Structure 1
Amino acid sequence: MTTRTASDPAPAPLLDLQALVVAVRRRRRLWCATALLGLLLGAALAVLKPPPPTAVAKVLVAHQADQPNDPGTLIRTDVALLQTTGIADQALKTLNSPQKPEDFMKEYSGAGLTNNLLQITATGRTDTEAQSRAKALADAFVADHVRRIKEAADAQAKALTDERDRMREELAQVNQSIGSGAQQTGPNASANLESLYASRAELTSRITDFGQRAAEAQVGTPALVAGTQIVDAPRAVRQSLPTTAATDGGLGLVLGLVLGLAVAAIGAVVADRPVLRREIAADLGASVLAELRRVPRRPPGRWRGRRSRAARARLATTLARTVRGSTEAVSVLELGCAHSAVEIALDLARELADGASAAGRPTDLESPGRELPGREPVAGEPSAGGPVVLVDGLPGPQLAKRRARPGDPTVIGGEPAAAVPGHQRRIGVGSVSPGTAWTDLQHLGTRTVLVVRAGHGSAAWLHTVARQLAEQRIPVLGVVLIDPDPRDRTDGTLWDGPRPAPRGRGERPARLLGPARRRTERLPMWTARVPDSDQEAR
């Protein structure tokens, strides 16, 4: 028996329903497209291939073995008999049609409405032809049903009559034996005569019974024949094209929606692409700094653009506070969102170039507005307000062919990055997509910020990225999540600190007074991965 302590992580569930629901909801374009496609295909099928003219007829069927509690076995037998070549051939003879019975059987059908009511549906090229076919089928079925009833009654009556005639012959032999026994004398003559009289009485009774049963078998047949008739003459079914299109479109919509949801769910399970903050943070081994919408190619709306710009400005300020005052180069590495990574790098470059040059001194992060004492710059160290250079390490032209605006930083390629003067600050922009040259990431920056699109990379690839960055000794300052699920309420913060020691019941923590009191607030997420060397440099 294995006991799991409080420090051990909880086992991962076999199927995370929350992640599955989020993944399916994120792929709403897929199942909405399949539902719309099903709707259009159903409506188009109703327009391009309208149903043929149809006629229906209803036949009341009387059965010899009708029972009030019949579960519908007899009427299902009638439906099966309707779909036989005998009835189809008889109907074709009535219609004088050269069509084969096997082909004609595909153009009509039957359905049991009740235990004794049969509905016949027939199609044709016109309404008149459909009505003629339904009438011929109804007449053929009634004639066949009546014939079978009469044949069954005649067969039963004949069997009873034959049994009665055989008994009459046996009675004649008994009467002859009685006449012969009356002339005999002896001790056993009277006993034999009494036995013959008893046999004659029994045979006479049985002959009478069989005669009555034969008569009754013929008496019930007319009632069954009269009870089997056409109660609803064949009539054409009026079909509305809008109604048919709406019905077929609704069925196509439901089928397409179910198919799209199934494909989305199966794809989410098979692909194993994390979409929740907690999953992405755990796979990359870094906390989530911020969540942003993907930067669109076309200008967004007024209100949406304002919210996005405000979120990007807050993120740029946060990153600038994190990297300002450090001599190490910083890189912005993207996974599935190159355009958003370029915009984040540009915002960070502008913030570093504009924000720090105003004061010339670092700002206390814990007390906004209060400046710390300045220090003399070290030789070769980039100044706080110095120029910023973007090192383009992206495989595509997102940064190289971007139209520069006034005040944008200088963009250089990855080759001359080492030739950048020491007083300039470098911000590398690269990618960690499949095919990345991991050894080149050191040239972009010794610390990095990952810009990851939710649901883009698989869990295995996120593990690969975290392992490769650890092997290259590139600490991750944090993760910027692009296109997160708006209903995601999971925590994307990693807690690596020591757990507090347990206290006894009623014991209170010590309260420090005066200058020895330490802050107990939670540090910002972006400081969770800052190396000790940077902490000492600050």
Structure 2
Amino acid sequence: MTTSTTSESSAATPLFDLQALVVAVRRRRRLWCSLALVGLLVGAALAVLRPPPPSAVTKVLVAHQEDQANDTGTLIRTDVQLLQTTRIAGNALQSLKSPEKPEDFMRDYRGTGLTNNLLQIDVTGDSDADAVARAKALADAFVADHVKRMQEAAKAESKALADQRDRMQVELAQVNKEIGDRSPESDPKASANIESLFARRAELDSRIADFDQRSEEARTGTPKVIAGTQIVDAPRAVRHSLPRAAATNAAIGLVLGLFLGLAVAAVGTVVADRPVLRRDIAANLGASVIAELPRRSGRLWQRRRTRAARDRLTATLARTVRGSAEPVSLLELGCARSTSVIALDLAKALAAEGPLVIIDGLPGSQLAGRRPKPGDPTVVSGERAAAVSDQERRIGVGSVAPGTAWTDLQYLGTQTVLVVRAGHGSAAWLHTVSRQLADLLIPVIGVVLIDPDPRDRTDGTLWDGLHTALRSHNERLARENVTGRPRTERPSWARVPDIDQEAR
């Protein structure tokens, strides 16, 4: 039975709780909103403090002798890389009569292949006029270098074809010499040899004519390449709009900051493992969530709802303290101020029923050191708790934050209500709190959740924890004190089905 229950529990626990991650990231919206705002401001500031340098742009139409319709851009990529060479940069600087080094000049421009035959050149300078002059010099140097390379390639190809033709002509002259005045009819015995010589001569004539034609085509194609390579878009200065640049940089910074913030929030949530959902907090503490309160009063239209929730919690805790013969304590985790307010409200609700003392066990004596107001209950520090009379009702207020003196908690109360801020303690620390209180035999009769997620719809009730749950705690006290039939109505925050008879 135990094995099956364990296996079912393991199967029901997801390896990665996406809902908890989304809720935790949403709760850290201040972080990622702040980073997004910082990114937006940094982007806008960079556009103002570091404006782009003066720049110019020009476009060059590049004709290639090897142009083909199915070219994938290899030739224009080669031209882009040739543009980024010290030879072209040096020729451009020489025309500008600039002492700048070609290696330094190469950092100030770049080429982009727009199509297979269109090259765009972007150049920066000290001013718009300087950028335009550098762009023109660079484009002229590239065109001149490209034309020179095409001419040299055409000359080399034409010379190679002419050399092949000359060799063929020499061989043709040798064949003609061997043939002489002979013919197949004049010498029937050597007719086969003479026919092969005639065939060879015809072949050489054809190949010589082919080489002549190809050499002529090589020379003819060069003027087309020279005429086709030209500057089609004259160098012009690029106008930069500061508002547009600031808006663009701000949008980029906003997106990057938002992405970084979400990533940091998600990673931090996974690493920290701080439960946010009431379901996870109740499971880790081993006690049901009995009430929820916002951390702050909220907006004007939310204050009435917050005040009503605080009044319901005060009434619930007051009924518990009245019906208990043992002192009850309020132990906080990450919400000392809210716990102090709850303790003062509870003391005021019980003040008319007899003397009451609040024992302040919080770090720093937040309650004991405050300036008392008319009608406030007596507050003593934890060191003076032993001097409190047994005839006075006491309410202990302490903390279960890291560094807590666990053995002192039993002097604040033999049963407790935990006041926990959602997302403050890690799962490991919540387990530690539950284990330490169990070792001290201090039952947790409920958990008050501070600053819950408003979209959390999970159930914070532990159905197998009726021995410490507040809903059965009052009924058990009623039976022990023989006060008659226990009351069966449920507080509005509980929304618990009537399963007490089944539990018993």
TM-score normalised over the length of structure 1: 0.85
The equivalent of 1:98 in structure 2 is 99
CA shift at 1:154, angstroms?
Answer: 1.4
- Asked whether the 8 Å contact 1:330–1:446 carries over to 2, the reply is yes
Distance 1:453 1:46 in 2: 42
Match for residue 312 of structure 1?
A: 310
- Over residues 76-98 of structure 1, what are the superposed CA-to-partner deviations in whole Å (9 max), with x where a residue is unaligned? 22212111111111111111111
Partner of 2:195: 194
Q: Deviations for 1:307-355, whole angstroms, at most 9, x for unmatched residues?
A: 322211111001111221211101000000100000011111111224x
Amino acid at match of 1:460: A
Q: Please say if 1:536 is aligned against 2:480.
A: yes
Could you tell me how far 1:485 is from its partner in structure 2?
Answer: 0.8
Shift of the 349–183 alpha-carbon distance from structure 1 to 2, 3 Å rule, reads closer
SS in 2 for 1:146: helix
* 1:422 shift after superposition: 2.0
Deviation larger for 523-532 or 465-474: 523-532
Aligned pairs (5 A) from 1:108-507: 108-179=109-180, 188-295=189-296, 302-354=300-352, 385-496=353-464
Q: Distance in 2 between matches of 1:136 and 1:535?
A: 102
Letter in 1 for 2:393: R
Aligned to 2:491: none
Q: What is the alpha-carbon distance in structure 2 between the residues aligned to residue 488 and residue 74 of structure 1?
A: 61
1:394 Cα deviation from its structure 2 partner: 0.6
- Cα gap change, 1:68/1:525 in structure 2, threshold over 3 Å: closer, same or farther? farther
1:5-154 equivalent positions in 2, closer than 5 A: 8-9=8-9, 10-154=11-155
CA distance in 1, matches of 2:189, 2:318: 137
Q: 1:374 is matched with which residue? A: none
Match of 2:471 among 515, 523, 527: 527
What do residues 141-169 of structure 1 show as CA deviations (whole Å, max 9, x unaligned)? 11111112112211211111111111111
SS of match in other structure, 2:176: helix
Are the aligned partners of 1:60 and 1:227 in contact in 2 as well (CA < 8 Å)?
A: yes
The 2-side partners of 1:33 and 1:457 are apart by: 23
Q: Distance in 1 between matches of 2:184 and 2:310?
A: 134
Q: Which runs of 5+ in 2 are unaligned?
A: 484-504
SS in 2 for 1:151: helix
Tell me the secondary structure at the aligned position of residue 418 of structure 2. Answer: strand
Q: Residue 229 and residue 115 in structure 1: after superposition, are their counterparts in 2 closer, same or farther (change >3 A)?
A: same
Q: Secondary structure at the match of 2:56?
A: strand
**Is the 1:478–1:529 contact (alpha carbons within 8 Å) kept by the matching residues of 2?**
no
Contact 2:332 2:398 in 1 (8 A): yes
The one-letter code sitting in structure 2 at the alignment partner of 1:526 is: L
State the distance in 2 between where 1:91 and 1:150 align.
Answer: 20
Tell me if structure 1 keeps the 8 A contact 2:335–2:420. yes
CA distance 1:531–1:440, change in 2 (3 Å): farther
Could you tell me how far apart the structure 2 residues matched to 1:7 and 1:324 are?
A: 42
Cα deviation, residue 474, structure 1:
0.5
User: What is the TM-score with the length of structure 2 in the denominator?
Assistant: 0.90
Q: Does structure 1 conserve the Cα–Cα contact (< 8 Å) formed by 2:276 and 2:422?
A: yes
2:455 is aligned with what amino acid? R
Q: Counting helix residues as a fraction of each chain, which structure ranks higher?
A: 2
Inter-partner Cα distance in structure 2 for 1:393 and 1:228: 88
Call closer, same or farther: CA 1:290–1:392 in 2, change over 3 Å: same
Post-superposition CA distance 1:185-232 (Å, at most 9, x none):
977422211111111111111101110111011111111111111111
For 2:8, the aligned partner's letter is D
In structure 1, give the amino acid aligned to 2:377. Answer: P
Number of residue equivalences:
480
Q: Distance in 1 between matches of 2:400 and 2:129?
A: 72
1: distance between equivalents of 2:267 and 2:65? 55
* Counterpart Cα distance in 2 of 1:156 and 1:202: 22
Distance 1:439 1:203 in 2: 114
Q: CA deviation at 1:139?
A: 0.6
SS class of match (1:220)? helix
Separation in 2, partners of 1:422, 1:5? 46
Secondary structure of the 1:8 match is helix
Note if contact 2:420-2:447 (Cα within 8 Å) is conserved in structure 1. Answer: yes
How far apart are 1:416 and its partner, in Å? 2.5
Structure 1 residue 254, shift from structure 2 partner: 0.8
Q: Mean alpha-carbon deviation: is it higher for 488-497 or for 259-268? A: 488-497
For structure 1, the 5+ residue unaligned runs are: 355-384, 499-522
Aligned CA RMSD, in angstroms, stands at: 2.4
Distance 1:3 1:328 in 2: 38
Counterpart of 2:240, as a letter, is Q
Q: Are the structure 2 counterparts of residues 5 and 437 from structure 1 closer, same or farther at C-alpha, using a change threshold of 3 Å?
A: closer
Contact 1:57 1:119 in 2 (8 A): yes
**CA–CA separation in structure 2 for the residues paired with 1:332 and 1:163:** 106
Instruction: Give runs of ≥4 in structure 1 deviating > 6 Å.
Output: 180-187
For residues 15-46 of structure 1, the C-alpha deviation after alignment (integer angstroms, 9 at most, x for no partner) is 11101101111111111111111111111111
Q: Give SS of 2:157's match.
A: helix
Q: CA deviation at 1:233?
A: 0.5
Q: Cα deviations across residues 237-267 of structure 1 (Å, max 9, x unaligned)?
A: 1111111111111111111111111011000
Percent of aligned pairs with the same residue?
70
Give the deviation of 1:476 after TM superposition: 0.6
Letter in 2 for 1:243: R
CA, structure 1 residues 186+240, in 2 after alignment: closer, same or farther (shift >3 Å)? closer
CA distance in 2, matches of 1:34, 1:392: 39
Q: Which amino acid aligns with 1:416?
A: R
How far apart are the structure 2 equivalents of 1:71 and 1:481?
65
Deviation string 1:465-507 (CA, Å, 9 cap, x unpaired) is 0000011011111111111111111111110179xxxxxxxxx
Partner secondary structure for residue 226 of structure 2:
helix
